[in-house]
Structure 1
Amino acid sequence: MSTRPKFIAAIIVAAGKGERAQTGDFAEPKQYRRVGGRPVLARTIDAFLAHPGISAVVPVIHVDHAERYQALSLADERLRDPVPGGASRQASVLEGLKAIAALRPDLVLIQDAARPFVTVEQIDAVISALASHDGALPTLPLTDTIKRAPDGQVVLTTEDRRTLFAAQTPQGFRFGQMFSAHMRAATVRREFTDDAEIAEWAGLRVAMTAGDRNNFKITHPEDFRRAERHISGDKAMETRVGTGFDVHPFEPGDAVWLGGVRIEHTAKLKGHSDADVALHALTDAILGSIGEGDIGVHFPPSDMQWRGAASTLFLKHAGDLVAKRGGRIVNLDVTIVCEAPRIAKHVPAMCTVISQTLGIKPDRVAIKATTSERLGFTGREEGIVAMASASVEVPRDE
């Protein structure tokens, strides 16, 4: 007699502001900042969609982050619409549990969005443990000696580290029991640190599975450097360089788009998209660095869906292709040649648009403007030329 497959739902908790990981260069919430060219939250969701046993994935996001989430452009039939979170992690998980209740899942896995390196094997271990336990979570034994100091200054005692373990996620439970426990926990004056603690408080039996030191939580700025090292691993990297060149003539209008910035002018640039000559050259440079042809191959002018499109879409696509190779953009250099409009005061805004589109630091983007000393078609103010170069690092093909 066969049994029906278990319906397993995964809740990805991403409703925090991620402020502890922010720096002057990166003001984005940590779950939307890129690691290895891909946003942290997207990597975490991908990890669960890669598991064949997961039936549904439900992200719980901050109420102010809807546009950021949509920009991830994730698509999978198992991925449900995001749910607005609450004022605390505990409240956000409860909102996720409420959202999946109608699905009547057998098991639920609760995952921190800031742990993007969870593996299929770790997820498997938690699911397997739920066959004989009410809950399960991956843990790591502590290797440092642990001191207890109630005042934070003077040691009171030394703990027996052999009985202490660091908790990770995903934490898995039988759905009905966890939903009930969370509903009850919401009525008491106590803030629980994780879902396993709620399960323990509710009298459920929670098993430990083997954790993984690479399943670390990105919390502070230095954790992003560790994440980048983890992605590159021991693979030898090589530097590639690509160049791009583009030109667009003027036509009647009142503004031009350059570097993703609208600049008022006595004319506009003629083209199928927004005719952003700077971003077109830069996109070609990035595509050239990884041997992916040019912008016309990926976004043909004959395709009407790109008519009037913002060229940041093309640039982001090129950056995503680098990320899929396991690579990263090292630096970008753009030269714009025109007599008018004046470019210099718009350069900082252009650098910001480009860096945010590609998820790199602004100081990795250089934009320069010059004239052709009134020579040629640019000198006659008939159009604008842009030249660009891009250097990227990608894993060496052995």
Structure 2
Amino acid sequence: MCNNRRNPVNCILPPYILEKIDQTNNSDLGDQIVLTAQATARFRSKRASLNEMTKKGKAGFLRTVSGDTDLEGVLPKPKHLIYDAGGLPITPGELIWKDGDPAPKDKDAKNVLNGATQTWKFYYDLFKRNSIDGIGMPLTQCIHYREDPRKPFSNAIWDGEQMIYGDGDTIFFDSFTRDIDIIAHELTHGVIDYSAKLEYKFESGALNESFADVFGIMVKQRAKKESVKKSNWLIGQNILLGDEYALRSMKEPGSGYKNHPGIGDDPQVAVMSDYINMSQHQDNGGVHYNSGIPNFAFYVAAFNCGGNSWDKLGKVWYAAMTDKILMKKNSKFLDARNATLTKAELLFGKASQVYKAVGEGWDAAEVK
């Protein structure tokens, strides 16, 4: 599974979904557990090396460029590289699209190009952040990946350097390129690698997951021009087959899917009184179970602010996530509450509706 306690590879499917699939009587579906574990092993050593490089300052870690131009005074643009693994366990595969080429014909290539473009524009337009690392890192994406050429692969992975997408099994999962919020979620894990560096375990890992969901939903809402009241607040609505299913709900954690024929009920929690204490061997200490708590806090804060989530509240969450003093690698939910309140006060004032809404959000999630 996507579980390496020291240097985890970030995948969109939580372990509890994969475990439910493994409990089915379908051996082909059960193989997804093995395939995901194999994929994680393939990328684990590279992720560890990249993390070590950033610690030593060899990968431009935490460098950002502010303002409207890059280091050469040219208006930044996203840099795209789309590769096709061709159903093989190779990355990045064959280069099939780069900037300046005609529009891609492959529907998955179209999806990842749109998703990555919208994510880049979100971060640059609102925060003047030039790509994942802040200094123009190419958005490298690999589609049609399989760990076993004979079997489809069901996951989306940020491996520390590139995005990797499976095509889904067509039984429970569609292509993992279909949801813009999933693409933005995984790319945001990269932003976290270059900012808060939240350790992927226990509360800090749940915050890592939550920040990725928060920015994933905001990218989707901005692309669809949805207000906080118009949005359905669902993550992964299209990759989980069936109109009534989604991977997660930020509005009502634990309701993403109910009575699903293969994976049962969504086990996420929304408030601290329901926090699930787990060992590090279980979902890295419950990072996907408990990320519903800060997710719910953000939803309530956004709803109480009104309007568009990204206009004001997005600025607060981004400022908190990228502040390496307020948000450290082992930060907990209460640290996130304090960081977002501090940024809300600095940006909008203690008497503002934004500050009030941020406090109300964390109060609703019982983080006090």
Settle same-fold status: TM greater than 0.5: no
Where on the TM-score scale, by shorter chain, does this alignment land: which range? under 0.3
State the structure with more CA Rg. Answer: 1
Q: Give the number of the structure whose residues are more often helix, by fraction.
A: 2
When normalised by structure 1's length, the TM-score is: 0.23
When normalised by structure 2's length, the TM-score is: 0.24
Q: Give the number of the structure whose residues are more often strand, by fraction.
A: 1
